[in-house]
Structures are given as structure tokens and as C-alpha cells.
Amino acid sequence: MTEIDDQGPLDFLAFELPAGTRSYPANVAREVTRLSESEFIRLVQLTIVSKGSDGELAIEGPGDDRGAGAPAATLDERLVAEGLGQVAVELPPGRVMVVLVYESLWANPLASAVRRSGGEWMGRVRL
């Protein structure tokens, strides 16, 4: 069995921070750490996006000051850029957004069973 056979679905979560926020909130970092340590999720990518008053985007990753404590793992840059572009249009000028990409570890056994049965994971929609 290959590593991809055991991988669960990846989710993309974005949330906007209050105006003037300049760092990844400690309480959010603690909760993401708790979820990771409980093996409910595996954090794959954390990105902080800010939109200037002129509408220009600044994208910062784990190595930047505002992403301190974030994981070092990164996704394919094209995948990240495409996803960020889709959500960044909604970000008002002067605001900051945190984007988390994570693997839903709870779904790994189900995804693996689907693949072993010849099926393919098609997607997931949150209601």
C-alpha cells in the first residue's frame, strides 16, 4: 500500500482577522496544535494573507514573523496560489486572513477503504 492510499481528504479553511491584527492569534495556534496532537487533523500548510488599502495582496508563510509556530510543510505553490486567489477576492482592503490546509485524519480509514474498493474520493461539501 502506498502513502497516498492512506491519505485522507485535504480541507482548506480560511478566516478573517479583525482589522489591525498583525500576528497569528495564540488561542487559534493552541487549538490547531490540540487538534493535531489528538490526531484529528494534520496541518499541512498555514498561510497569512493581507490585503493593503490599494488591494495588493501580501502572502506570508510559516517562516515569516506573523506565521511563527506554523508547520514547515508546504504544498505545491500552484495549488496554494489557486486556492488563495479564490478566497482572497473576498478579503476587504486593510484586512488579514489566515488560511489553513489540513488533512482530516479521522477520514483516513474511510478514504483508504474507498480506494481499495476501486473507488475514488470525489469531494466533500460543508453545509
Contacts of 29 (CB under 8 A, 6+ apart): 69
Rounded to whole angstroms, the Cα distance separating 109 from 1 reads 13
pLDDT value at 21 more than 80:
no
pLDDT in tens, 86-119: 778 888 988 888 888 888 888 888 888 888 999 9
The Cβ of residue 95 has, within 10 Å, a number of other Cβ atoms equal to 17
Q: Which three cell numbers stand for residue 45?
A: 500548510
| Domain assignment of residue 98, given as a range | 3-116
Is 122 inside a domain boundary? no
Tell me the sheet residues that pair with 16. 97
Is 44 inside a domain boundary? yes
The Cβ of residue 28 has, within 10 Å, a number of other Cβ atoms equal to 14
Supply the pTM of this predicted model: 0.70
**pLDDT at site 80:** 61
pLDDT in tens, 33-90: 999 899 889 988 888 888 888 988 888 875 444 344 444 344 556 656 666 777 788 8
Is 73 inside a domain boundary? yes
pLDDT value at 2 more than 70:
no
pLDDT in tens, 22-45: 777 889 889 989 998 998 899 888
Rounded to whole angstroms, the Cα distance separating 31 from 25 reads 10
Is 123 inside a domain boundary? no
Tell me the sheet residues that pair with 46. 100
CATH number at residue 82: 3.40.1520
Structural domains counted in the chain: 1
**pLDDT at site 118:** 93
